[in-house]
Structure 1
């Protein structure tokens, strides 16, 4: 079964736009769980423009499903993850100024750095995932560096889906096969939606997890959060 992890960054963005605690990030996360989500993802950035460090600490003891913290492994991020010890940490190559993730790691170029960081998390008992493009070499070096999983960066799939779903998904199927043959778990995320998720799942049914935030929270404005989560889970059947 492919798990649905809901990224709640956009909920925190809405809260921060007004100040105060509405909407309440912890309540939304717990509601996502009660509505059927199998995980919660957060991406705390250095400027705390959406998820704050305090949110991460508040969520950890209350969540009943899988907790995934993603981010660039700067010293303060590494310190946060080692203190909180979520179920999974996802390493992304974002600079602090980026609006959102827009590329995977060059795992060959950054092999030594990633190896050191992954080793620290693995020794702490935190499952590790590295955000990569659908390229064989990048996946292979992620495995060599010690990652437990890779998260396939799916924006190219989402962009090309409307033109040709078959052509769009083909490189991701091959990448997922390579990852599986290397013994890696496989996650996927970025620009996945109710439009394109089911086709990806049907072609890569051995995905461990999809992490979805922007599209899911946007859909919830029209459908409501509970119905939206059920619609996304239906895409994974």
Structure 2
């Protein structure tokens, strides 16, 4: 049975390791292939302007790879005001995830600020979302778990939101876990009520994924990179992907 939540593997950390030497190993496309063979429903990359991990060549090589995997999705994420749109216009992935990170930011750590009418983010995002739709690309906005902003995200034309899950991951196993799960469930309900589908990602792992998906039903896709690649160093890609898929199946 196909899981109701798709697993998209972020291969950025494979590229980060490769970039420490000039031997072109480990291979980003080989890692993606092994993950797809193991059952992953998609591949995600976040090509930052400084190319500290994913490089432009990787984006295009993975696009070619995904052509041989019908039914699997390619998600390219990043800041549309930096270098993301250049890739979207050429590659036309299944999904573009707009993330409001700065050029030198260590990792994504907050969502778009859309709470105020006429907010700068909203005014700048709307035409780029429309352009993606013209290119046949679905758009997901990286958002904090704030129910009140979901209508604003929908009004811009977004198809989905990706809930930034680090606050939940940080609280998992502690006294604040239940509060965070209630917060994310409320945000997901608000998104669906607004007509948006829901993705989720950031610091999700084998230990906290099942609890999250049980409490926040209806999540279309989880994008997982750092923890999954770290697990793969010990278990291998195939066993790791299969175990994440098990975590998803156990929510049924």
TM bracket, shorter-chain basis: over 0.9
Residue matched to 1:8: 11
Q: Contact conserved, 1:105 with 1:138, CA < 8 A, in 2?
A: no
Residues 206-225 of structure 1 mapped to structure 2, 5 A cutoff: 206-225=218-237
Structure 1 residues without counterparts, runs of 5 or longer: none
Q: Tell me how far apart the structure 1 counterparts of residues 22 and 81 of structure 2 sit (CA, whole Å).
A: 27
Q: Distance in 1 between matches of 2:205 and 2:174?
A: 16
User: Are 2:93 and 1:86 equivalent residues in the alignment?
Assistant: yes
Q: Give TM-score scaled by structure 2 length.
A: 0.91
Structure 2: distance between partners of 1:168 and 1:88: 27
Q: Give yes or no for the alignment of 1:43 onto 2:55.
A: no
User: TM-score of the superposition, structure 1-length normalised?
Assistant: 0.97
- What pairs with 1:145-160 in structure 2 (closer than 5 Å)? 145-160=156-171
SS in 1 for 2:248: coil
Offset from partner CA, 1:27-54 (integer Å, 9 cap, x none): 1111110011000000001011100111
How many residues are aligned here? 237
- The 1-side partners of 2:84 and 2:229 are apart by 25
Contact 1:188 1:207 in 2 (8 A): yes
Distance 1:76 1:133 in 2: 23
The root-mean-square deviation of aligned C-alpha atoms, in Å, is 1.0
The answer to whether the 8 A contact 2:47-2:55 is kept is: yes
1:173-226 CA-to-partner distances (Å, cap 9, x unmatched) read: 000001111110100000001111000111123110000000011111122211
Query: Aligned-pair distance for 1:75?
Result: 5.3
Q: Which runs of 4+ in 1 moved over 3 A?
A: none
Match for 2:207 among 195, 200, 203? 195
Question: Contact conserved, 1:107 with 1:114, CA < 8 A, in 2?
Answer: no
Gaps of 5+ in 2: none
